[in-house]
Amino acid sequence: MRLSPYLAFAKKSFLSKSAYRFDHFMGILNTLMRIFIYWGIYLALYNGKSEVDGITMTMVTTNFILSMGLSAVFCVNDYYLPNRIQNGSIANELLLPVNIHGRMLADNLGNALFQLVFHFTPAVIISVLVMGIHAPASFSMLVLFLFSALLGYGVLWTISFVLQMLAFWLLNVWSIMTIKNVFVNVLSGSMIPLWFMPEWMQGVIAFTPFSSIYFTPVQIYLGQLSFPEIIKGFGVQIVWILLFIFLGQILWKQGQKKLVVQGG
């Protein structure tokens, strides 16, 4: 498979985002506002205490700065396929000499790169200067954090990939995507660090893909996981990615048959 067409799609996505400068500044402001709002909430909850149940305010701050920063980068287009199915342009997409799933991913990666450079980096720098953040446990942990974050993006994208396939059977997937976003926000640890969840709930969340999106990378960054636990975390992330790709491919094949019936 030639990569050049997909690189061109990613470049186009990146450049299209850079054309809207006002939107670029509003994106930075949005990320900063979310980070500072949560910082204020946790400052009030800690009420001057240095730590709660062994979790310091700096650890909490590090968690939501990294999680919300990454959530700005992990801006997945949940409606790429549904929009094309609704307006009929999916037929033209299928005629192109490229894999449509590769094109979907390339479009998102171009957007993610833009978000990383122009939203994540400025917002995190400002947040760190104002609030402070834990330094990575070590350089090796920083590298492993970046790799885990990349896998976390893969988990999030493949979840969206599966749910987008439901557009072949549903008139509107907005409600499903909204529910998915709620689960991601609550169970990934970005809004409420999973340290504060009851033990039984942490056990339940461990059997879902959501904690591996943001919380696993943050734990690696803070040095809370041993090397065997990190390898296990990578394995969990990879298994979820492969599982969702497999499920998405099944739905894709069945959905194409449904699309032919509707158009025939």
Residue 162: helix, strand or coil by DSSP?
A: helix
**Global pTM?**
0.90
Domains in the chain: how many in total?
1
Q: Average pLDDT for residues 48-65, to the nearest whole number?
A: 86
- pLDDT reported for residue 252: 94
Contact 69, 123 (CB under 8 A): yes
Domain encompassing residue 103: 4-263
Nearest to 234 by CA among 134, 137, 143: 143
Please, how many CA atoms are within 13 Å of residue 124, restricted to the half-sphere of its CB?
22
| Sign for the pseudo-dihedral over CA of 71, 74, 75, 77 | negative
How many percent of the chain have pLDDT more than 70? 96
Who contacts 60 (Cβ-Cβ below 8 Å, separation ≥6)?
Answer: 42, 46, 193
pLDDT at 261: 42
Query: Which residue, among 62, 59, 69, has the nearest Cα to 30 in the 3D structure?
Result: 69
On the question of pLDDT at 263 being above 50, the answer is no
Question: Lowest mean pLDDT: which of 17-31, 57-71, 74-88, 161-175?
Answer: 17-31
Phi-psi region of 48 (alpha: psi -120 to 50; beta: other; left: phi over 0): left
Whether the per-residue pLDDT at 54 is higher than 50: the answer is: yes
**Across the chain, what does the average pLDDT equal?**
88
Model pLDDT, residue 99: 87
pLDDT category at 220 given cuts 50, 70, 90 is very high
pLDDT tens, residue by residue, 222-261:
999 999 999 999 999 999 999 999 999 999 999 888 775 4
233/217 Cα distance (integer angstroms):
9
Most confident by average pLDDT, 19-23, 27-31, 248-252? 248-252
Amino acid letter, 181: N
Instruction: Return left, alpha or beta for 88; rule: phi > 0 is left, psi -120 to 50 is alpha, else beta.
Output: left
Of 262 and 208, the structure prediction assigns the larger pLDDT to: 208
Looking at this protein, which amino acid is placed at residue 239? Answer: V
Helix (H, G, I), strand (E, B) or coil at 55: strand
Per-residue pLDDT at 23 exceeds 80: no
Residue 260 has a pLDDT of 56
Question: What CA–CA distance (Å, rounded) separates 6 from 3?
Answer: 5
Secondary structure (H, E, C), 116-132? HHHHHHHHHHHHHHHHC
For range 161-165, the mean pLDDT:
96
